[in-house]
Chain A
Amino acid sequence: MCAVMRSVTPLLLTLKVAGLATLAAFLIGVALAWILSRRQFWGRDWLDAALTLPLVLPPTVLGYYIIVLLGRNGWIGRWLYEQFGFTLMFTWQGAVVASSVVSLPLVFKAARSAFESVDHDFEKAARTLGLSETGVFFRISLPLAWRGILAGTMLAFARAMGEFGATLMVAGNLPGRTQTLSLAVYDAVQAGNDQLAGILVGITSAVCILVLVSSGRIFKTQYLREVHR
């Protein structure tokens, strides 16, 4: 019973961190995917590569980059600290930043390919029917691409749930404050608390499987687009 109680705090924290991280990754990823799929500009391929990088870089390297940028002596972090007396280091907000960076490519990649598979003629037709570019985005492109985007977002959520390396470097492993499920599993195993580790692992796996099954279903029912082409 005690072990179950001890897993509730990390679970709630994980859901909060992963939820907010996914929201941030969603907004930034969809906006960037839209721009990269519709605008031609110099350095587009490089930007695409930079946004995909978190998918292949070791989480420790990402954590290092985030510290260099947002740490108390970092480029942006120093300014934040001087202006607001606030630092992201060793806070749950820092964990959100780390998780969103790691899961951003999953939203971005899925959204970009979803936007690119939307026939440009639909957007053109909407323009001749009096729609502004904002209208075209919200009434044509987004509705036609949403399945792909949603599937990518669910993958991003699952990835954010399991985030370990970058979170550990940026937010540390403070029980009750920044200790998410994956960090708690590590602690439990290190401490030889097999019962707690088992419960934590079970919860994490169950949530991730649920998310993956749902996103697989969304991918499968991508009928609108294919039938139309």
Chain B
Amino acid sequence: MIEGKSLTKRFGEIVALDKVDVQMKEGQVFGLLGTNGSGKSTMLRLLSGILMQDEGEILIDGQPVFDNPRAKRNFFYISDDQFFFANATPEDMAHYWQTQYAMFDQAGFFQLLDAFHLNRRRRINTFSKGMKKQLILFAAVAANTRYILCDESFDGLDPVVRQAVKSLFADRMAERGLTPIIASHSLRELEDICDTIGLLHNGKLLLSRDLVEMKQNVHKVQAAFAEPLQAVHFPQLNIISAKNSGRVITLVVRGDAQQIQDKILEYNPLFVELLPLTLEEVFISETEVVGYEFKTLTLQ
């Protein structure tokens, strides 16, 4: 488990992270969401031991990470702007990573390269941005570390590759309990892969929740009545948002699904239906709880 306690990081007068407490459990995909400048990259660079926190503590499996090779052996960090040695080929980089990571699976790495038609003997500086991202993601997978820290790593990948990488992650999670930690400014990027999402804003972690748990607590209900009813007619419900269309009302309500349905049935609706919620809708509800308007926090 990766644990950050009261993490604070300042760059001069700018507070990049302000007393952030975060836990990333093993075997889950943790998504770190936030706008540009919200502190995502800083958080990942702190977690990977590149930067030193001004206050607080970071533990990876109980060990402090800063300047600690033992802790660092447990993760592979993918920067948003990857570095490869000048004139190096994927083969050269593989040799290098093999010397750095004890479990680096060179054969597996080459297999992935071949499968995605990346020439292992071509100079990396001739690769496109997306190819470089593929390369580093495959290396991260092949490194066989417990954690992979990805900073905006899925941007620039085509949908096929993105899906393939997600499958790879899923396989490794199933096989050996890999824990990917993915930072992104796009909710949609994380929606179908993350188990837990942390929302960073202005250096503060607004929330860090399990997605399933969040979804269980917020529901979208659509009902039709003989006479048009407004949200104010349902004072017993904890309504987050409401939308009227003639006699049909769509509510996003916090609470237990059965109880919400029972309460609406008391008004004799013509029909009641529970609709699936998008992650965005869940986040709108959750951020409002902590006093923020979600649309100002993320770029979708």
Do A and B come from the same complex?
no
* A interface with B by C-beta (< 8 Å): none
* B interface with A by C-beta (< 8 Å): none
